[in-house]
Chain A
Amino acid sequence: MDYLIEQALNGFSIGAQYSLLALGLAIVFSVMGLVNFAHGEFIGVAGYAMFAMAAMGMTDPWLLVVFAMATVTLVALVLERVAFRPVRNAPPTTGLLTAFGVGIILQNLFLLMVSPRPKAVPELSALNQTVEVAGHNFTILQFLEVGVTSVAIAGLVWFLKGTRIGLAMRAAALDFTTVRLMGMRANRVIATAFAISGLLASIAAIFFIARRGAIDPFMGLLPVLKAFVACVLGGFGSLPGAVVGGLLLGLVEVLLIVLLPDKLAGLRDASVFLIVGVILVFRPQGILGRRVELGDKTA
């Protein structure tokens, strides 16, 4: 029973990270139809930003966190401006492949400017301390992950319902042209979507880095693939779907860690993807997605 509760929180806290990443993907996709394959690299950007700060002698964790979040948001805006704006009206495949190229660029920039080898970022490791709550062992990080993610999601909901640009983003998911006819600037709507996706990714990144204590140039690949999985599970482009898909994925992963013996540890990722495949066979539109027929406007 103890074990169960601990693992459940573990699953939720890992799932929370996937949810944050998946939400960012889903927001950008729903607003401009772009499948941002480079989304995972935001984790690397956050990591290397913190690493650079720490290398210059600034090791205050709060400062690092704020700096990382600001850098990622800025990078997201720059990428939108430089790489994604030229392909804004191109077919989805072009956008996906552009993003794929952007991802490769960022990875190799980390590699070129820092090192191909992993680097330690120990400043946030204090968060891994265990605390005892009602007889169970948890880490501070787990509470933070669940708590901060909940706050972020609540903030996002408020933004989408309570601000005009949020309304525009929701409307743009179905009909961008008419949003422009209202006098809403397309560039502003899309830039906001990117900024939000970067901000959410930076939060997830901080948690990832706190858990691992180290960074490497290719650290973004697996998380972004998982975030894609979360999106597909929930129904691509659906925001609630992204959250649910992310949490589900976290629980499944923890379940697999518990169930699979160490000898089969190499099959953990494979099993996650196998489960995705099976779900897609029975519900090609995802769990919360609407049924999409061949020929509908999709990614």
Chain B
Amino acid sequence: MLEIDGVSINYGPVSAVRNVSLKVEKGEIVALLGPNGAGKTSLLSAAMGLRPLAAGSIRFKGEDMRRLDTESRVRRGLTLTPEGRKVFANLTVLENLDLGAATRAKGADFHADIEMCFELFPILAERRHQTGGSLSGGEQQMLAIARALMSRPSLLMLDEPSLGLAPRIVGQIFRLIRDLRQRDLTILLVEQNAHEVLRFADRAYVLSTGECRYAGPAARLQEAGALMQAYIGELVA
């Protein structure tokens, strides 16, 4: 579904990502792992068209994305919940969800989708008239995911959804992500919480200092020492 091929990304003279290739097939949960500064966020931003590519190509559903702006990519079913949640702090929960559906008309299924979000996250229903900024960190993450679902994506990219959350909430969020697969959703998940994620991901990539260190089944990384090796050296898949 998503094919990232030989992508490099620069920030001025600094090279953040070098020649990285990554593939996500329909129905998969793919984990993208790696230490701080590995270039994970940069790669997702580039996939959304927020950063220019220095080299390589990005295809989504077979279509070349390089010519398309961010907005058009969303319209084609590619969605990102950004790192740090980024809920609209001055908008209410309902308004946040409304904006999440910006690519769709406000018809009957719009209201159905709002109800679906409230079913998935009952707490948001309670807080529907509260502003995004007044929610707790966990609630904000749920809102961010719900907001992303409102665009009815076919591929959902999540950038560190567990960041700064208590373990109990993290468990809840991960369970939810696994459930989303049942809703015909493909997921690319960026995480630091490698061990938890590898338990339910199909395949995994490990990025370190801008280069791909591992690409293969998630299960293989669960073997003793494999993850460590991938982080510090090259692990041949």
Contact = CB atoms under 8 A, between A and B. Distances in A.
A and B touch in the complex (CB under 8 A): yes
Interface of A: 164, 167-168, 170-171, 173-175, 177-186
B178 to A, nearest CB: 24
Given A178-B82, A181-B70, A186-B71, A168 B99 contact: yes
B90 A183 contact: no
A168 B89 CA distance: 12
Interface centre among A174, A175, A183, A185 (most CB of B within 10 A): A183
Interface size bucket, B side? Answer: 20 to 34
9 contacts: A164-B102, A167-B99, A170-B91, A171-B91, A171-B99, A182-B151, A183-B70, A184-B102, A185-B71
A181 B90 contact: no
Given A183-B71, A184-B99, A171 B48 contact: no
B88 interface: yes
B50 A180 contact: yes
B150 to A, nearest CB: 9
B161 interface: no
A181 B74 contact: yes
Contacts of A171: 88, 90-91, 99
Nearest to A168: B99
Contact of B99 (A164, A174, A185): A164
B80 interface: yes
Contacts of B50: 177, 180-181
A181 B80 CA distance: 7
A164 B89 contact: no
B100 to A, nearest CB: 6
Nearest to A177: B50
B67 interface: no
Nearest to B104: A183
A26 to B, nearest CB: 14
B86 A182 contact: no
B95 interface: yes
B163 to A, nearest CB: 16
B129 interface: no
Contacts of A186: 71
A178 B151 contact: no
Nearest to A186: B71
A185 B99 CA distance: 12
Interface in B56-94: 70-71, 74-75, 79-80, 82, 86, 88-91
B24 to A, nearest CB: 18
B40 interface: no
